[in-house]
Amino acid sequence: MYVSYALGIPLIALLTLAEYLILPGRWTLLGLVSLAWLISLPAVPLIWQYSRLIFMNFDQWADPTEPTKLLPGECPTDPGEDAGGVDDR
């Protein structure tokens, strides 16, 4: 969420600036920001996708974890491993 905010706000700010320079001077700041928001709305899925990609890479860089090695067909959690000391056999 933080990364998507960091990607989306500069986009809206740049669109607002471009609109301010291109459109006639009768627009208010609220109107320009609202128009920029509407223009950037189709880009929201791409911003969301790339923000997740950036966050996952940052997370692995900041706190690297080794992937667990599983054999083909093996479940990540085997219910028989931690049965609380009770043997149902």
Judge whether 81 lies within some domain.
Answer: no
**Domain range enclosing 24:** 2-62
Judge whether 41 lies within some domain.
Answer: yes
Alpha carbons 69 and 30: distance in angstroms, whole number:
53
pTM: 0.67
Q: What is the DSSP letter of 23?
A: S
Q: What pLDDT digit, counting tens, does each position of 14-72 carry?
A: 999 999 999 988 999 999 999 999 999 999 999 999 999 999 999 989 988 877 777 77
- Tokens coding 89: 């056999």
Count of domains in the chain? Answer: 1
Judge whether 6 lies within some domain.
Answer: yes
Give me the residue label for tokens 């054999």: 71
